[in-house]
Amino acid sequence: MMRALILLLALAGPVCANEAIVTGLSQNRVQITANFDGSEILIYGAVKRDAPAPQGAPLAVIITVEGPSTPLIIRRKERVAGIWLNRSSVTVDAAPSFYAVATSAPLERILSGTEDLRHHITIPQVIRAVGISDEAENAPDFVAALERIRLDENRYRIAENTVQLVEETLFRTDVALPANLTEGNYKVRLFILRGGVVLDTQERLIGVRKAGLERFLFNLAHQQPLLYGVISLVMAAVAGWAASAAFRFVRS
């Protein structure tokens, strides 16, 4: 009986490794101050296995960083009688204020379309625009224009081959966050894949908050708008008086 069991296990072939992610961030909090000019986040991790790595399709890693999403109205301007006018528009349910994709290899080689639809990894998949075809002709062109503009503004990024993967076990990458960050929670997602299929995923958060004077003014403007308006008027009046006094002093 024991010999038969050993023979059966041998015929079954090697045990497939159960691969999972263990990850970390260099920081999970970013403070926006008066002299804030951006930040760089180190994202690193390792692949944990309960058996040797399987042979065949190589391991791949994809890392995404997604800022807070907001609804948008995208308008198309057309020239009418020599004047540019907004002629048509579509409403996007949600579009990330910032989105970066970093990979260990070209996306088209490591990610299947099915897995992209399931996990919403590429930029077109994270822009949620349901039912826009009823709002305007060639509605997908509006979303493509949004993607193109934000890529040009460096608010959306595709960084292929920037994840360093060592011995199909250790990986790391650096993601630069711009100076014009939107306050909120930034979602970091990490994926390991083989043959275009996602084996495991993990999610972390980076909190981005205003600090110091910027935080005080932000809270004042939203919590006590009347007081904020009065203070703004007083400061403007004082600045105008000071400029006038300085001008009179210089002339004298």
pLDDT of amino acid 170: 95
Triad 24, 156, 216: Cα angle to 5°: 70
pLDDT digits (tens, 9 = 90+) for 195-226: 999 999 999 999 988 765 555 555 555 566 76
Of residues 107 and 39, more confidence is placed in 107
> What share of the chain has pLDDT > 90, as a percent?
44
C-alpha distance from residue 28 to each of 39, 204, 208 (Å): 12, 8, 9
pLDDT of amino acid 12: 43
Burial of 95 (0-12, 13-18, 19+ CB in 10 A): buried
User: Would you state the structure tokens that stand for residue 1, as one six-digit string?
Assistant: 């009986």
pLDDT digits (tens, 9 = 90+) for 6-44: 343 344 444 456 899 999 999 888 888 777 778 899 999
pLDDT of amino acid 109: 95
Most confident of 12-21, 44-53, 104-113, 237-246: 104-113
pLDDT of amino acid 198: 96
Length of the chain in terms of residues written? 252
Q: How many helices (H) and strands (E) does the chain have?
A: 7, 12
pLDDT of amino acid 11: 42
Q: Any bridge partners for residue 72, and if so which?
A: 92
- Entry pTM: 0.75
How far apart are alpha carbons 229 and 225 in whole angstroms?
6
Q: Are the beta carbons of 129 and 143 closer than 8 angstroms?
A: yes
pLDDT at 154 over 70: yes
pLDDT-wise least confident of 63-72, 113-122, 125-134, 152-161: 125-134
Of residues 249 and 167, more confidence is placed in 167
Instruction: Give 187's pLDDT tier (boundaries 50, 70, 90).
Output: very high
pLDDT digits (tens, 9 = 90+) for 56-100: 889 999 999 999 998 988 887 766 666 766 667 788 888 999 999
pLDDT at 144 over 90: no
pLDDT of amino acid 53: 81
